[in-house]
Structure 1
Amino acid sequence: MTALDVFWVGLGGGLGSLLRWWIGLRVGQLYKGPLPLGTFVINVSGAFVIGYLSILFSVDWRDRYGDFLNAAVLTGILGGYTTFSSMQLDASKLARAKDRVWAVGYLMVSVVLGLAAAAFGAWLAR
């Protein structure tokens, strides 16, 4: 790891976080329903893009940190864009609001559709 790697990951992470914030804000302005749609859209779209780009960049999951594209785009931008922790917080809030079935369903659908989106993105890239 070099200082330049750290720079690219940090820059990409900042850009990805800003994109996540902006998309979450826009979805929140358009959707006023009871479910955390913004986090869901962000995570599923991020899974699709990372699946697609990982094939395009020929990334092996054991070695995805080394070069510029991997560091800046996959780890940085997409790592900053997607948000596992917000998904967990959203599910926790649903469960505390006595919506435990919605909380479990939200987590399950998020994981299954995220996996499907990543697989579909990888399939398209091939």
Structure 2
Amino acid sequence: MTEGVPAGRDMAASKGSTLAAVAAGGAVGSLGRWGVGLLATGAVWPTLLVNVTGALTMGLLVAWLAAGERHPLVRPAVSVGLLGGWTTFSSFALDAHGLAGDGLGGLLGYLALTLGLGLGAALLGLVVGDRLWDGSASADETVTEEEL
């Protein structure tokens, strides 16, 4: 408890700061995703691009967070806010539904490509991040944090 401040007040300020960090990150990520949709052509390519780059970034972020102490607002701002706004499961599901009408081959290809590239990008981010930041801490501990 801070001197002269009631116990509940410190927690509320912390939650307010976290809320603001998530909101700011979400605004940036959502605007970025919208911009990619304007620039990229094709029905499913913008969604594939943001989801794969988001997975790569999440892998890098987890490795970076595991490598040392970071400001407590970095994790919620970037993982929940920025990457939550950047990536999109709802558009992925809608794109898959649209492709289902064109035949099973296109749908299965899109699903496999998205899952394969997304998982591969996340693992690549973890490996590259671990080498970049010489992570001695376990990324598994970072992944289990509730904000991710």
Q: TM-score range by the shorter chain?
A: 0.7 to 0.9
Q: CA deviation at 1:4?
A: 1.1
Question: How many residues align structurally?
Answer: 114
Question: What's the counterpart of residue 39 of structure 2?
Answer: 26
1:16 aligns with 2:21: no
User: What percentage of residue pairs aligned between the two structures are identical?
Assistant: 37
Give the aligned CA root-mean-square deviation in angstroms.
1.7
Q: Give the TM-score normalised by the residue count of structure 2.
A: 0.72
Question: What's the counterpart of residue 17 of structure 2?
Answer: 4
Larger radius of gyration, structure 1 or 2? 2
2:112 to 97, 101, 108: 108
Q: What does residue range 72-111 of structure 1 map to in structure 2 within 5 Å?
A: 72-96=77-101, 98-111=102-115
2:61 to 49, 53, 61: 53
Contact 1:51 1:120 in 2 (8 A): yes
Q: Give the TM-score normalised by the residue count of structure 1.
A: 0.84
Q: 4+ residue runs of structure 1 moved beyond 6 angstroms?
A: none
Gaps of 5+ in 2: 1-13, 131-148
Aligned to 2:66, the other structure's residue is in SS state: coil
What is the distance in 1 between the residues matched to 2:104 and 2:19? Answer: 40
